Amino acid sequence: MSSAEVPVSSAQVAITLPDGSVRTYAPGTTGADVAASIAKSLAKAALAVKIDGEVRDLALPLARDCRLEIVTDKNADDALDLIRHDAAHIMAEAVQELYPGTQVTIGPAIATGFYYDFARDTPFTPDDLVKIEKRMHEIVDENRPFTREEWDRTEAIEHFKSIGEKYKAQIIQDLPASETITIYRQGKWYDLCRGPHLPSTGRVGHAFKLMKVAGAYWRGDAKNAMLQRIYGTAWRTEKELAEHLHQIEEAEKRDHRKLGREMDLFHVQEEATGSVFWHPKGWALYRSLENYIRAKLVTAGYVEVRTPQLYDSSLFKASGHWDLYGDNMFKVRESVTEDGVEKFLGVKPMNCPAHVQIFRQGLKSYRDLPLRMAEFGNCHRNEPSGALHGILRVRNFTQDDAHIFCTEDQVGEEAKEYFALQLGVYKDLGFEKIAVKLALRPDERLGDDATWDKAEEGLRVALRANDLEFEELPGEGAFYGPKVEFHLTDAIGRSWQCGTLQLDFQLPERLDASYIGQDGARHRPVMLHRAILGSLERFIGMMIEHYAGKFPLWLAPTQVTVATIVSDADAYAGKVAAALRKAGLRVELDIRNEKINLKVREHSLQKVPVMLVVGAREAEQGTVAMRRLGSNAQEILALDAAIANLSAEARPPADASSTDSAF
């Protein structure tokens, strides 16, 4: 088993650089050589190369003419992937040095770091993580080069079996026969890996930290052995690491499950896995958001409908959901025919097939279009139990769903109206930084390429016409059409994918929806699937964390607490609370025989925006002492003035036409 170079031709290799210039190099030239020929500073900064868009090792000989880019730490995504991948290798080496007999399995880079799964009988402890991390820093300082080798498949399998690495041997056995078996060394330690890697361990830097240990089944299958997964995070700089750790700390403080308990908003329990028990305060928040969206829809010309939960499987088979989405659906066996054929019902995972059924009732004319049909639709999806997370990912949820049936000529204007509505809502809800992405055709999909070409280009045109910058996501579309995704950045810098607009030519055809055109003939409508919030449960969970529970007054579950200083003011406090409720405010009355400082502290923990404190003086003068959440100051106001001010402040945003955005 020896190292093998990639074959190169005897002819000169033509390299096209990012600026469009072309340079020729002798056979065997590497990416490092190219970087050095351009500038010493670039050679020093180089981490890897991109050959025709694919990241490869800097030391790889160039075998053919290609487009080439030198990857440095300025290429944030590529640099982070390399750093995190290498950090996983360094961690695996540290583990096997410190804990002999531990087997390594797989160790990829992930969104904010890396992990590696280990087979070891003794559980890792927090103290072990400290030792492993210390050794990792030492390996980085040793600055060992990463070197690539190609091994014979059979010899590689036998080798890993001989050293007790049965998981590595199994990985190689399961690789396609055409796969080249590559090994990467960092000094004496080595690992099966496709690469690419940084030039040396020293290029990883010291901006990493081991975070936790968790259990993980080999290859994600509960029938297999349980492994130990060590998670770490890694960044380009110490500053980035510090910012990430601060974000984690803030996220823990803002965790919607923690705040949900403290604010008495909701709970989940095993007897209804994946469903939410909304408490009175949480339901007040839910209804406030729902009513706000409903008012926006009325202004925007939507009609609201309500559709069933259970459908015969024939509807979902016709729509394509049964075959392409069936694993995510809950199915109910209704009956078995005499010849043994089972009849199934499906619990709806989305509302679109049902809305087509309403559209098909009665004859529709081009004059009826566009028809904007909305529903706060209750849906169920068979999410894996391990993926469930508070109210952010559930099995039972409500979508602020709508479908716009229109002609092809109306798509542009309808998209424009939707974008305006969408961005206005996000601004009202406190989200200013928004990214737009266009998700394109997935591998498993309905329809032909020509139809997908038309749908994808239709959304591109709509986005450009509204001056919305967007990133394209190949393979991420729905199975029936491409979609525009809106990604919101919250108060601590996390991104959340929320609203979508999907352009669909498939369902109207499959479910036989039609309208009579100006020519008197039948035509298929275009179907625009759109959601602003997406799942209300998820959006509320996100908002709890974004606001850290401190909602603006119009959304707050409890808007005002009326609290007494002395029992002599109890009757007056009751009148104040009644007057506030009559004005439409959500009010809590606290006349407990407790000190006012205790009451203030407790209601502050409940994140109540306003406290009206009353004592004997306020009762005599018809006033209230107003205290705002987070402030020690108080303002003395006449009761009527306080009610007028709070009523105005608690009014939901009403302007549905706002198009201001943060693009």
Sort 473 into a burial class: Cβ within 10 Å, 0-12 / 13-18 / 19+. middle
1 has a pLDDT exceeding 70: no
How does DSSP assign 132-173, residue by residue? Answer: HHHHHHHHHHHTPBEEEEEE-HHHHHHHHHHTT-HHHHHHHH
Sheet bearing 623-628, strands edge to edge: 587-590, 560-564, 610-614, 623-628, 634-638
Residue 376 contacts residue 398 (beta carbons within 8 Å): yes
pLDDT tens, residue by residue, 174-209 = 999 899 999 999 999 999 999 999 999 999 999 999
Largest CA distance in the chain: 100
Residue of 50, 381, 510, 538 with catalytic role: 381
Mean pLDDT of the chain: 92
For residue 422, indicate whether it is catalytic. no
Residue 478, pLDDT score: 85
Choosing from 186, 399, 502, 506, the catalytic residue is 399
Q: Tens digit of pLDDT for each residue in 336-366?
A: 777 777 889 999 999 999 999 999 999 999 9
Average pLDDT over residues 594-598: 94
Per-residue pLDDT, averaged over 132-159, amounts to 96
Q: Does the active-site annotation cover 441?
A: no
Condensed to tens digits (0 to 9), the pLDDT of residues 420-448 reads 999 999 999 999 999 999 999 998 888 88
End-to-end CA distance of the chain: 55
Give the model's pLDDT for residue 583: 96
The whole-angstrom distance between residue 193's C-alpha and the CA centroid of its chain comes to: 28
pLDDT (tens digit, 9 = 90+) per residue, 97-122? 999 999 999 999 998 999 999 999 99
Q: Report the pLDDT averaged over residues 367-389.
A: 94
Q: What is the pLDDT of residue 10?
A: 54
Beta strand 371-380 with 342-347 is: unpaired
Measured CA to CA in angstroms, residue 503 lies from 182, 361, 376, 470, 529 at distances of 43, 22, 20, 16, 7
287 has a pLDDT exceeding 70: yes
Catalytic residue among 78, 81, 117, 401: 401
Rounded Cα gap, residues 104 and 192, in angstroms: 10
Q: Which residues pair with 183 in a beta bridge?
A: 149, 192
Residue 529 is among the residues annotated as catalytic for this protein: yes
- For range 207-224, the mean pLDDT: 92
For the question of residue 483 being annotated catalytic, the response is: yes
Could you tell me what percent of the chain has a pLDDT over 70? Answer: 97
pLDDT over 70 (residue 539): yes
List residues bridging with 184 in a β-sheet. 148, 191
pLDDT above 50: residue 6: no
- Of 4-13, 73-82, 312-321, the poorest mean pLDDT is in 4-13
The one catalytic residue in 148, 244, 395, 529 is 529
Q: Is the preceding omega at residue 652 within 30 degrees of 0, hence cis?
A: no
DSSP characters over 546-607: HHTT---TTT-SS-EEEEESSGGGHHHHHHHHHHHHHTT--EEEE--SS-HHHHHHHHHHTT
pLDDT confidence tier of residue 4, bands split at 50, 70 and 90: very low
401 as an active site residue: the answer is yes
Which residues on adjacent β-strands are paired with residue 109? Answer: 114
**pLDDT, position 445:** 87
Whether the per-residue pLDDT at 656 is higher than 70: the answer is no
Predicted confidence at residue 144, as pLDDT, reads 95
- pLDDT exceeds 70 at position 136: yes
pLDDT digits (tens, 9 = 90+) for 464-514: 988 999 999 999 888 888 999 999 999 999 999 999 999 999 999 999 999
d(CA 321, CA 304): 24
pLDDT at 657: 40
Give the number of other Cβ atoms within 10 Å of residue 566's Cβ: 14
How far is the C-alpha of 522 from the C-alpha of 603, rounded, in Å? 62
Annotated catalytic residue 352: yes
The one catalytic residue among 144, 296, 483, 599: 483
CA 448 to chain centre: 29
SS3 for 404?
Answer: strand
The amino acid at 437: K
**Catalytic pick from 197, 256, 348, 352?**
352
- 498 has catalytic annotation: no
User: Which one of the listed residues 244, 256, 403, 523 is annotated catalytic?
Assistant: 403
Enter the tokens of residue 260. Answer: 């949900």
User: Which secondary structure element, helix H or strand E, spans residue 313, and what is its range?
Assistant: helix 313-319
pTM, to two decimals: 0.82
Residue 555 has pLDDT above 90, yes or no: yes
Helices 411-428, 280-299: axis angle to 10 degrees equals 140
